[in-house]
Amino acid sequence: MLRIIASVLIIASAMFSASCSSGNSSQSAGSTDSSVVMPAPVYDSTWTKGQLIDSIVCQNQSSQNFALYLPTYYSPARKFPCIYFFDAHARGALPIRLYKDLAEKYGYVLIGSNTSKNGLAWPVTNDAVQALMDDTRKRMNIDPARIYTSGFSGGARVASSVAIMDGGVAGVIGCAAGFPGSNNDFQNKFDYFGMVGDYDFNMSDMEKLDAALAQNAFTHQVLTFKGKHEWAPASDFQTALLWMMANAMKENKQAKNDAIIQSLKSDYEKRILAAKSSADLVKAYELLDGAVRLLNGLTDISSFKKQLNEFSASSNFKNAVTLRTQLQQKEMSQQQELAQQFSAHDESWWKVKIAELQQKIHHAKTQQESNMNSRLLNFLGLIAYLNTNHAINSGDLERVESFLRIFKMADPQNPDCSYLAAVYYMKKGNPQQAIMSLNDAAALAYTDVSQLVTDPAFSSLQGDAAFKKVLEKVRANNRTK
């Protein structure tokens, strides 16, 4: 979804002083008399286990609610590690639906915010996060040493923000975006595992973040997968979980488990082999380096060390590093050009430009160059979305149709294009065409029920039978996504 980038969460450093104290809520700043015996917590034992629960209302703040998955063997009698999810569209159930089988396999509680989303002011987001974490820690037996956050795009920035401010977060699994703003003042250290699609326009930012984390002595790894700007597949998220568990073993937060360590080692071996086979030497090196750093002391890493030494002495690897740097610089420059050129040219010019990018994707000399051009085409889709949305909001309807056609050429499978078309048609007084566009969006897997219900553009359609059918299709998309 491209609209999630329209309001990327940027948190000024001053905001970081705002308390997001969920991780330290068990210890107040002023310690109490240690002789006082506190009553044992009473956890909720009524929730269904082994089944995704779409919405649970927070007890002390009814405006906040969350999705939940408890493993079938969850018991309030013992502590369980937990992952808090933040989706850019407040679709708390979406990542849980994707990863609940992993939670069952490895014993994690999964909690997804149905409130935190892009476009909210940070104080509102902060209140939502605190309400969620405070409520769930009182109602479930969550291991305070193994609290993790995860998010997608703007939600990844929320997940990182919580960890940056809150010493109680053990690790972050960030998907498709890095840290908020340009903050490099890391108040708290935590394990960081980033995931980004090979065709995601945010890849360069994720690569730069990985380098910054290395310089600041973070335990870190960035993994790429075949995909665009989206949540990572479950197979890749499993790698992130194995990685977090291995770190927890090294940090004495969980007992050593040789089966998990071997699974992670085998996972690294497969990914390194695949990177070598595709001639992506930089990726292979980064995986080898990550494996050595993490698995040292947990298992035999002599093979990884040998390969790492061979890479370091290889001229082919050094050339690959140089090429990657050049491609990163070229990609950044071309992104800037695309952004500057968008409103300066008509549809026919963009038709030629898009054809050129597609040609480069299919006939690039290397896979890395092909992927870069795919990211540029996806970035053009983002720019088309931003310009179209701005034109609609500013009342410049004369340019909207042209912008929408460019958007459709750049990213034909993006439901946001059809959604914006529906908004445009409502502003033009054509509700019938708007409904047709919304049906197109639903057919392209549009999932944002909340936006559809609350968007003022569709307020006059809320009682319309055809609009209600669209809503049902979008809700169904949420259940099957």
What confidence tier does 217 reach under pLDDT thresholds 50, 70, 90?
confident
Q: Which amino acid is at 281?
A: L
Q: Can you give the pTM of this predicted structure? A: 0.87
Last residue of a domain, one of 412, 435, 469: 412
- CA atoms of 424 and 430, how far apart (whole Å): 9
Helix or strand run (H / E) with residue 65? strand 65-69
Evaluate whether residue 220 is within a structural domain: yes
Contact between 74 and 80 under an 8 Å Cβ cutoff? The reply is yes
User: What does the DSSP assignment read for 263-331?
Assistant: HHHHHHHHHHHHHHHTT-HHHHHHHHHHHHHHHBTTB--HHHHHHHHHHHT-HHHHHHHHHHHHHHHHH
**Cα-based torsion angle of the residue sequence 412, 414, 419, 421 in order, rounded to the nearest 10 degrees:** -20
Evaluate whether residue 481 is within a structural domain: yes
Contact between 442 and 419 under an 8 Å Cβ cutoff? The reply is no
Contact between 481 and 452 under an 8 Å Cβ cutoff? The reply is no
Coil, strand or helix at 146 = strand
Q: What are phi and psi of 192, to 5 degrees?
A: -130, 125
Last residue of a domain, one of 391, 412, 433: 412
Say which CATH number the domain at 145 has.
3.40.50.1820
Sheet holding 142-152, edge to edge: 53-57, 65-69, 109-113, 80-86, 142-152, 171-175, 191-197, 220-225
With a cut of 70, say whether residue 11 has pLDDT above it: no
Last residue of a domain, one of 194, 225, 256: 225
For the ranges 23-37, 239-253, 432-446, 451-465, the lowest mean pLDDT is seen at: 23-37
- CA atoms of 331 and 265, how far apart (whole Å): 33
Coil, strand or helix at 448 = coil
- CA atoms of 143 and 76, how far apart (whole Å): 11
Q: Residue 468's pLDDT is what?
A: 96
Compute the mean pLDDT over every residue in the chain, rounded to the nearest whole number: 89
Query: Do 65 and 207 fall into the same domain?
Result: yes
What confidence tier does 216 reach under pLDDT thresholds 50, 70, 90?
confident
Q: Residue 6's pLDDT is what?
A: 37
Rg (CA), the chain: 23
Contact between 242 and 259 under an 8 Å Cβ cutoff? The reply is no
With a cut of 50, say whether residue 436 has pLDDT above it: yes
The residue among 43, 2, 130, 120 whose CA lies nearest residue 420 is 2
Query: Do 427 and 463 fall into the same domain?
Result: yes
What confidence tier does 14 reach under pLDDT thresholds 50, 70, 90?
very low
Condensed to tens digits (0 to 9), the pLDDT of residues 342-365 reads: 999 999 999 999 999 999 999 998
Q: What are phi and psi of 304, to 5 degrees?
A: -65, -45
Residue 425's domain spans which residues? 416-481
Task: Count the domains in the chain.
Answer: 3
Query: Do 374 and 420 fall into the same domain?
Result: no
Evaluate whether residue 381 is within a structural domain: yes
Coil, strand or helix at 67 = strand
- For the purposes of burial, counting CB atoms within 10 Å of the CB of 212, is it exposed (0-12), middle (13-18) or buried (19 or more)? middle
For β-strands 191-197 and 220-225, DSSP reports them as: parallel
Query: Do 197 and 79 fall into the same domain?
Result: yes
Q: Residue 20's pLDDT is what?
A: 38
Evaluate whether residue 364 is within a structural domain: yes
With b meaning 16 or more CB within 10 Å and e meaning fewer, what string describes 420-442?
bbbbbbbeeeebeebbbbbbbbb
Condensed to tens digits (0 to 9), the pLDDT of residues 261-295 reads: 999 999 999 999 999 998 899 999 999 999 999 99
Condensed to tens digits (0 to 9), the pLDDT of residues 86-99 reads: 999 899 999 999 99
Q: Which amino acid is at 418?
A: S
Q: Which amino acid is at 184?
A: N
Query: Do 398 and 425 fall into the same domain?
Result: no
What confidence tier does 183 reach under pLDDT thresholds 50, 70, 90?
low
Query: Do 478 and 421 fall into the same domain?
Result: yes
Most confident of 126-130, 181-185, 285-289: 285-289
With a cut of 70, say whether residue 41 has pLDDT above it: yes
Bridge partner residues of 171 (DSSP): 148, 191
Query: Do 81 and 186 fall into the same domain?
Result: yes
For the ranges 372-376, 418-422, 447-451, the lowest mean pLDDT is seen at: 447-451
**Cα-based torsion angle of the residue sequence 315, 317, 319, 324 in order, rounded to the nearest 10 degrees:** -170
Geometric angle at alpha carbon 454, from 453 and 459, rounded to 5°? 80
Query: Do 96 and 205 fall into the same domain?
Result: yes
Helix or strand run (H / E) with residue 203? helix 203-215
With a cut of 60, say whether residue 376 has pLDDT above it: yes
Query: Do 112 and 160 fall into the same domain?
Result: yes
Q: What are phi and psi of 345, to 5 degrees?
A: -130, 155
The residue among 292, 199, 307 whose CA lies nearest residue 246 is 292
Contact between 117 and 177 under an 8 Å Cβ cutoff? The reply is no
Evaluate whether residue 408 is within a structural domain: yes
With a cut of 80, say whether residue 298 has pLDDT above it: yes
Query: Do 202 and 165 fall into the same domain?
Result: yes
Condensed to tens digits (0 to 9), the pLDDT of residues 95-119 reads: 999 999 999 999 999 999 999 998 8
- CA atoms of 395 and 427, how far apart (whole Å): 9
Q: How far is CA 126 from the centre of its chain?
A: 18
With a cut of 50, say whether residue 155 has pLDDT above it: yes
Contact between 158 and 49 under an 8 Å Cβ cutoff? The reply is no
Evaluate whether residue 136 is within a structural domain: yes
With a cut of 80, say whether residue 185 has pLDDT above it: no
Evaluate whether residue 174 is within a structural domain: yes
Which residue, chain included where needed, has tokens 């990914």? 271
Mean pLDDT for the stretch of residues 471-480: 88
Evaluate whether residue 462 is within a structural domain: yes
Which residue, chain included where needed, has tokens 């990177």? 275
Query: Do 357 and 446 fall into the same domain?
Result: no
Cβ atoms within 10 Å of 193's Cβ, excluding its own: 26
Q: Provide, rounded to the nearest whole percent, the portion of the chain with pLDDT above 70.
A: 90
DSSP secondary structure code for residue 53 in this structure? E
Query: Do 473 and 377 fall into the same domain?
Result: no
Contact between 59 and 139 under an 8 Å Cβ cutoff? The reply is yes
